[in-house]
Structure 1
Amino acid sequence: MKSTAVPKSAAAVSHALPPERADAIWTRTKVVLSFWAVIIFFGIPMWWKTTSIYRASLPLEEMMSWAEGKACKPEYPLEIILRAPSIPLPEAQNLVRITQHALDDLNEFPVHHLRLKLAEITAVKNAGEFNLDIGIEGNSDAALVVNLVPEEIATPKSELHSYSPRLDIFYPPNQLPSATSSNSPLVTFIADEIQSLYIEEKATIAHILKESNIGLASSPGTGQSTGVHSISPELAEFVSSRVTRSFKYAETYHLSFSLFTPGSEPSSWEIETAIQEFMTPLLDAFSPISNFSIDSQVQLYASFSPTSPRPEFDETTRQWTLKQEDLSAFINAAEWPLSPSIGSGPTINFVLYVPAPTQSPLVVKESQATSWVVPQWGGVTIVNPPLVYTNDNPRNPSHLSQESLKPALLTFSHQLLTLLGTPATPSALPLRLQTLIRTRAATLLLSASSTMGSLARLTQSLASIPVPVTVASSVSTTLSHLTLTCQLLREGKFKPALASARIAEKEAEKSFFEKSMVGQMYFPDEHKVAVYLPLLGPIGVPLFLGLIRELKRFVTDLKQRRVAK
């Protein structure tokens, strides 16, 4: 037989895939392009729309301007009414002018202005005397009324009213300045007396400005010193200590009065009537500044903490004593039911402690005091009531009457003033409350301004966080009220300024702590990649490989066409 050999090339051709039809290639290309068309024209826009972060427009430059102290420099012009009904009008006007110059020479703190104004007193008499209320009834913004009273005395003297913003100055008539003189002992005395009333207020405002780091060096565009260095170091330290002890400003405070005793008596107290009688007038005086809610409780068998030092008996004074350094451990926070926060505002605790009959009377060893303040928490008062003897056995009374609670409530009133940041001077309560209004307005103004700066820096540094419309609205409200507060301060309208500053602070905090913004801060871009990659990886690889294959085929076909030509 004759064998037939098969060429190798023929064998190779028989195993090759048949060439694709042109219509099949075009179908595959259309499928690939269709997928990518859906991705590009539908998928990506939809993904961009559903995952994009809305960022409302914020006035960042204006916000930073407030934070840096460029938008407003707080000023405190205090209007002081001078009443001189016994002095002829030309001489009274000359006295006001000379005294104003003396006040300006004494004032080294230009942020705080004292401006004298002569009262418009008419010749209306009541029971044979001038009506001293005329001329100020229509001016509720006056900070102080200085009433000049002539007397046959050798040197001037002053008397400050405790419960009204009025300073009476008694002077010898021969010390009135003449029309040609530029000074007199009376002028110097009046200026010194007025200036001394506001020393602590100036130190407090200087402390607030210093702590805020806003607008300290000089007045904008003038280079004028703010006079912070003119405050004595002792006064500055005292003011710093007082501010540290006091609570942060709040629109509402909750007052909690607690009676604690280690035994079963006393088991009741007339706290409601005592508060109504001895504290309500003070709380009403605070109404332009803050509101208060009140509750009370009685806790029997309230023992000392196991780790706290026990009272020691002093043989010399026949008293039980607590050492000064042990007072910080007096409150048994673990067992005494003292809630740190009730309601929306901070809680100020007032503890009235009645010691056991076997440890009465109980006092502080070093000072013999029976009360002390716990900074930013409240106050403690120890009451040692008269003991009742039954079969020669001493015991505490079962009930504390309103009158027996009077010393404790008056002590609590003084502690409340301290905890709310009320200045210690001057002695007149209305002047101290006026000072508190001005300092609180300054604190809120600077705090809201600082919050605006923090929010601006936050939105600039974190581009991934959303800025909802509510934040933009709150920022707009804050800035408008900051502007209004600054304007009212410059006009000497301090109560409306405090009300406006309160709104600015509230809206600033609301915008900064917006929930949607805070939540997005903890959702970084790396987390997004970690979520999308496992989902898109298996889908994206075939699509990319198919697109690359089609691009290669298109390039190959294009080269073959060029060669064929």
Structure 2
Amino acid sequence: MPLAEGASAPVTSQSSSTTSSAAGATSDSNAQSSTRQPPPETKESIWVRRLVVLSFWLVVLLLGLPVWWKTTAIYRAELPLQDMTDWADDKVCKPVFPLRVAVEASLPLQDAHNLLRTTQHAIDDLNEFSAHHLRLILAESHNSANASQEVVSDGTRVTTDDEDIALAVRLIPVETGTTPRAHLQPYAPTLDVYYTPNQIPTPSSTGSPLASFIAQELHKIFEEEQALLSYLLSTTSTAYSGKTKPKTKTLSAEKTAEIERQFTRALKYASTYHLTFSLFSPTATPSGWEIESVLKHYVSPLLESFSAISNFTVDTQVQLYAEFSPSIHRPEHDESLNAWTLRKEDLSGFINAAEWPLSPSIGTGPTVNFVLYVPGQDQSPLLIKENGGNSWLIPQWGGVVILNPPLQDEGKQASTILTEDALAPAMHAFSNQLLSLLGLPQTPESLPLKLSTLKRVRLASLFFSASSTMGALARLTNALPSIPIPDAVAQSIDSTTKHLQEACNHLHEGRFQGALEHARIAEAEAEKAFFERSMVGQVYFPDEHKVAVYLPLLGPVAVPLLMAGLKEIKSLLKRS
């Protein structure tokens, strides 16, 4: 056993030596494998990889970007921006208001020309407003076609329709009474001037009392019109901004404040107004009114006179058990007036808008509300405390009239129907309120002349409004290149410029009715273009919103493409 053990010892040692050698060989093999590099890429594999990366970039650049650009591009119709700016700056047309005054005189032709010449000089000396001037015309005769053959002060014969004559001056010779004197017809655009034959200027005279008198009367008649137009020109941002700005009429502070109140009180011009006459009562009476006959007698003639400026639609309503607004103080009984009174500061809150059916959306145009309130017997008569009145005007909204019913004897039932006679005072008040809301001037005393003045004032405001709107649209288009401009906007702008040019041509010819029609269309088309829905929706869409939309979608795709491209570019630079 020991020998056997001794004999086996060399064998064990040899086995250990063999194991150590094998371990050393394995260790050398691992070291060599750890330092071994991968085989180099073949040129074919390099070009395949580069072609793959390039193909992705070509798809993105040649297909993806064009499709994205086409599908997300904003269509902008071509607009005449320079022309629009020129209209806004009054470089295309400077409005003028030449008023033709026809003079009818039973005089020899030479004497009539001398009178017109001296009167025209006197008018020009009085005129302070170059954009508004009177042009005297000698009317010779009238034919059956409702036209007049006329001779202007320089002898040139012209033909003019009657509607283009602002005023007719009739020279009437008299032998008695104070002369010269004048009388303006209240319901006709006619000024009667009474004179004696010895007041006619001679051919050698440069002036005469009659010519100066006529000039003064004409200046007085159109003085308020000149003030209104001068105010519009001086306050409108588009009015005569160039170096050729005309001389405007100098207005006092009081006159300016009065005109501002008048414009603030009046409604904005519209081609159609909707009038609503409403009867409200806190009780069950009166339950009806003879409104149709009253409107036909009092309101319809007035609306007919405004037909050349605007159209009107009318409706009526009756609302019983209608209390006035609870937010105001209750009426208080005044012993001195023996009446119930409302404070002046409560008049603005008198309308109970929450319960009274006074919808402003009735009709096709702006609604003008006329409210007739009939208080109950327990609060009658109801008056305004400060002035004892029973009506007031709400600027740019309508008017209110309190109709106090007659006191009834005990046991006698109140009338349930308001008759035409009972409604007459209220209709007179409503008519005056309507004139104020429509902006009718206070002077002159002739209603046709007031309407003619209103026509020219409305014409000027529409003309300036359309020009200003086009200028604003041009500035908006330049400032916001991201808003779309559909073809409808371009068509509206073309229509606006066309009608503005027509209005300008009619203005220079003194044809104010035609100018008003074109200016009305131009203003409507300009407003339509400026408030196009597809444009308004993009006005307040900043670029940050676009980044927030595109970044989450394009980020995961763009980063691998950019990194792969940069890697290939770096590899190419390294190999070169």
CA distance in 2, matches of 1:311, 1:394: 25
Say whether the 8 Å CA contact 1:200–1:239 is kept in structure 2: no
CA distance in 2, matches of 1:432, 1:122: 25
Q: Name which of structure 1's ranges 478-487 and 133-142 shifts more when overlaid on structure 2.
A: 133-142
Percent pairwise identity: 52
Query: Unpaired segments of 5 or more residues in structure 2?
Result: 1-16, 151-158
CA distance in 1, matches of 2:142, 2:310: 37
Q: Does 1:141 align with 2:141?
A: no
Q: What secondary structure sits across from 2:162 in the alignment?
A: coil
CA distance in 2, matches of 1:133, 1:50: 64
Q: Does 1:195 align with 2:219?
A: yes
Q: 1:446 is aligned with what amino acid? A: F
Residues 458-486 of structure 1, C-alpha deviation per residue, up to 9 Å, x if partnerless? 11111111122111111111111111111
What aligned pairs does 1:306-385 form with structure 2 within 5 A after superposition?
306-385=326-405
Q: What secondary structure sits across from 1:228 in the alignment?
A: coil
Residue 554 of structure 1: how far off its partner (Å): 2.7
Name the residue aligned to 2:61.
Answer: 40
Change (3 A) 1:88 1:249: same
Q: What secondary structure sits across from 2:481 in the alignment?
A: coil
Residues 148-171 of structure 1, C-alpha deviation per residue, up to 9 Å, x if partnerless? 111122322222112111111122
Residue 140 of structure 1: how far off its partner (Å): 2.1
Residue 413 of structure 1: how far off its partner (Å): 1.4
Q: What secondary structure sits across from 2:74 in the alignment?
A: coil
What aligned pairs does 1:467-546 form with structure 2 within 5 A after superposition?
467-546=485-564
Name the residue aligned to 2:455.
Answer: 437
Q: Does 1:275 align with 2:295?
A: yes
Q: Name which of structure 1's ranges 448-457 and 405-414 shifts more when overlaid on structure 2.
A: 405-414
CA distance in 2, matches of 1:453, 1:407: 47
Say whether the 8 Å CA contact 1:387–1:395 is kept in structure 2: no
CA distance in 2, matches of 1:397, 1:173: 63
Residue 351 of structure 1: how far off its partner (Å): 0.7
Say whether the 8 Å CA contact 1:312–1:322 is kept in structure 2: yes
Aligned residues: 545
Q: Does 1:28 align with 2:49?
A: yes
Name the residue aligned to 2:424.
Answer: 406
Highest Rg: 1 or 2?
2
CA distance in 2, matches of 1:122, 1:297: 48
Name the residue aligned to 2:93.
Answer: 72
Q: Name which of structure 1's ranges 529-538 and 392-401 shifts more when overlaid on structure 2.
A: 392-401
Residues 388-443 of structure 1, C-alpha deviation per residue, up to 9 Å, x if partnerless? 43xx1465420012232222222211111100111111111111111111011100
Name the residue aligned to 1:114.
Answer: 134
Change (3 A) 1:487 1:427: same
Q: Does 1:205 align with 2:229?
A: yes
CA distance in 1, matches of 2:163, 2:191: 17
Say whether the 8 Å CA contact 2:96–2:132 is kept in structure 1: yes
CA distance in 1, matches of 2:550, 2:350: 58
Q: What secondary structure sits across from 1:140 in the alignment?
A: helix
Q: Name which of structure 1's ranges 497-506 and 464-473 shifts more when overlaid on structure 2.
A: 464-473
Change (3 A) 1:226 1:8: farther
Pick one of 205, 209, 215 that aligns with 1:185: 209
Name the residue aligned to 2:7.
Answer: none
Q: What secondary structure sits across from 1:121 in the alignment?
A: strand
Name the residue aligned to 2:249.
Answer: 228
Say whether the 8 Å CA contact 1:146–1:169 is kept in structure 2: yes
Residue 13 of structure 1: how far off its partner (Å): 5.7
Say whether the 8 Å CA contact 1:158–1:167 is kept in structure 2: yes
Say whether the 8 Å CA contact 1:357–1:395 is kept in structure 2: no
CA distance in 1, matches of 2:42, 2:359: 85
Say whether the 8 Å CA contact 1:255–1:295 is kept in structure 2: yes
Q: Name which of structure 1's ranges 181-190 and 76-85 shifts more when overlaid on structure 2.
A: 181-190
Q: Does 1:285 align with 2:309?
A: no
Say whether the 8 Å CA contact 1:201–1:435 is kept in structure 2: yes
Name the residue aligned to 1:164.
Answer: 188
CA distance in 1, matches of 2:559, 2:220: 82
Q: Name which of structure 1's ranges 538-547 and 71-80 shifts more when overlaid on structure 2.
A: 538-547
Residue 489 of structure 1: how far off its partner (Å): 1.1
CA distance in 2, matches of 1:138, 1:511: 35
Change (3 A) 1:56 1:376: same
Name the residue aligned to 1:562.
Answer: none
Say whether the 8 Å CA contact 1:388–1:397 is kept in structure 2: no
Q: 2:485 is aligned with what amino acid? A: V
Say whether the 8 Å CA contact 1:488–1:497 is kept in structure 2: yes
Residues 132-155 of structure 1, C-alpha deviation per residue, up to 9 Å, x if partnerless? 999798432001111111112232
Q: What secondary structure sits across from 1:381 in the alignment?
A: strand
Q: What RMSD in Å do the two structures reach over aligned CA positions? A: 2.5
Change (3 A) 1:315 1:523: closer
Change (3 A) 1:179 1:512: same
Residue 556 of structure 1: how far off its partner (Å): 3.4
What aligned pairs does 1:432-471 form with structure 2 within 5 A after superposition?
432-471=450-489
Q: Does 1:247 align with 2:271?
A: no
CA distance in 2, matches of 1:422, 1:503: 22
Residue 215 of structure 1: how far off its partner (Å): 3.4
Residues 174-195 of structure 1, C-alpha deviation per residue, up to 9 Å, x if partnerless? 3222222222222222111111
CA distance in 2, matches of 1:298, 1:114: 50
CA distance in 2, matches of 1:557, 1:232: 88
Say whether the 8 Å CA contact 2:270–2:310 is kept in structure 1: yes
Change (3 A) 1:141 1:122: closer
Q: What secondary structure sits across from 1:339 in the alignment?
A: coil
Query: Unpaired segments of 5 or more residues in structure 1?
Result: 125-130, 559-565
Name the residue aligned to 1:128.
Answer: none
Say whether the 8 Å CA contact 2:148–2:161 is kept in structure 1: no
CA distance in 2, matches of 1:359, 1:23: 106
CA distance in 1, matches of 2:196, 2:387: 43
CA distance in 2, matches of 1:459, 1:167: 51
Change (3 A) 1:358 1:157: farther
Name the residue aligned to 1:561.
Answer: none
CA distance in 1, matches of 2:194, 2:59: 94
Say whether the 8 Å CA contact 2:142–2:148 is kept in structure 1: no
CA distance in 2, matches of 1:32, 1:222: 67
CA distance in 2, matches of 1:23, 1:325: 94
CA distance in 1, matches of 2:371, 2:148: 42
CA distance in 1, matches of 2:386, 2:149: 51
